[in-house]
Amino acid sequence: MSAILVLIGFSLAVALFFLGAFIWAVKSGQYDDRYTPSLRILFDDTKHQVDESRDNTDK
């Protein structure tokens, strides 16, 4: 029976991890714009390569 206590502790830890992940997602602004990313994913991804190279030269 005491195995249950271990399991409950474990399941709580997992649940807390996901709660933390959710809070992080909200905090980092992922819920601010719930529409544009769905458009952005359809574009051909030429932008970021250029962006990264630009960032490198900035540094």
* Assigned token pair, 36: 């544009």
List Cα–Cα distances, 21 to 7, 42, 44, in angstroms.
21, 26, 29
Rounded to an integer, what distance in angstroms lies between the CA atom of residue 20 and that of residue 37?
23
- What is the smallest separation between the CB atom of 9 and other proteins, expressed in angstroms? 9
Which of 3, 45, 58, 59 binds other proteins (CB under 8 A)? It is 58
The verdict on 8 binding other proteins (CB under 8 A) reads yes
7 binds other proteins (CB under 8 A): no
Q: What gap in Å lies between CA 54 and CA 59, rounded to an integer? A: 9
Interface with other proteins (CB under 8 A):
1, 4-5, 8, 11-12, 15-16, 18-19, 22-23, 26-27, 31-36, 39-40, 42-44, 47, 50-51, 54-55, 58
